[in-house]
Structure 1
């Protein structure tokens, strides 16, 4: 019994590949971000409750569309922030370990008189 179970295991050999076949394209991601944000806020009025629901919806939509691009060996992180635009300042910052050669970022800012939306997609290379 252990012999048959042992033989059914799939054994994978290392590829020794150090770079992705389909690397992360910032321009394509920025295009997706722009399209999604502009279509989402056509008739949107800012309230804290509506913004909370919209952030979740936009993050899922953006990630689904970016995943369709099939970036090879990348972990994707999408962060969307929506704040009321009442002439105040805003500072957002994130920290992580970064590989200058392989890790990428795409971002888009959408602004109306009522709100400010920032969408960011991180493509982190995963070996």
Structure 2
């Protein structure tokens, strides 16, 4: 007799699949709550990025996207009117893997957050 945990899954259950809209809402809420009144400080920005990434990862894990590896990238920079371009490239399965991102800006700083969900076969 084969138990459920011993079976091989090549596709996630639809209701447990990584949902970018849900994750984007999590990112949006956490970043705005933590950064709305924040001023850019080069002395504390490294710890702030780590703390934000950890908070976002913990929140995304509560969604229980079954068998997904979650990677969170947070970038915070000083707002001086400059332009910033970012890109990311990944080798992944377009049927199962996905990402969500959001951008926050105030008068002092900008923050770009990307969360990748990669299905673990």
- TM (norm. structure 1) is 0.85
Following the alignment from structure 2 to structure 1, what is the Cα–Cα distance between the partners of residues 29 and 44?
Answer: 20
Structure 1 segments unaligned to the other structure (5+ residues): 1-10
Q: Secondary structure at the match of 1:70?
A: coil
The alignment status of 1:81 with 2:75, answered yes or no, reads yes
Change (3 A) 1:13 1:90: closer
Aligned to 1:36: 30
Aligned to 2:111: 117
8 Å CA contact 2:68–2:118 kept in 1: the answer is yes
Alignment RMSD, CA only? Answer: 1.7
- TM (norm. structure 2) is 0.89
Count of residue pairs brought into register by the alignment = 117
Deviation at 1:85, TM superposition (A): 1.0
Deviation at 1:27, TM superposition (A): 0.8
Structure with bigger gyration radius: 1
Q: Secondary structure at the match of 2:66?
A: coil
Following the alignment from structure 2 to structure 1, what is the Cα–Cα distance between the partners of residues 119 and 40?
Answer: 35
Structure 2 segments unaligned to the other structure (5+ residues): none
| 4+ aligned runs moved over 6 Å, structure 1 | none
Change (3 A) 1:30 1:13: closer
With CA pairs under 8 Å and 6+ residues apart, which has the higher RCO, 1 or 2? Answer: 2
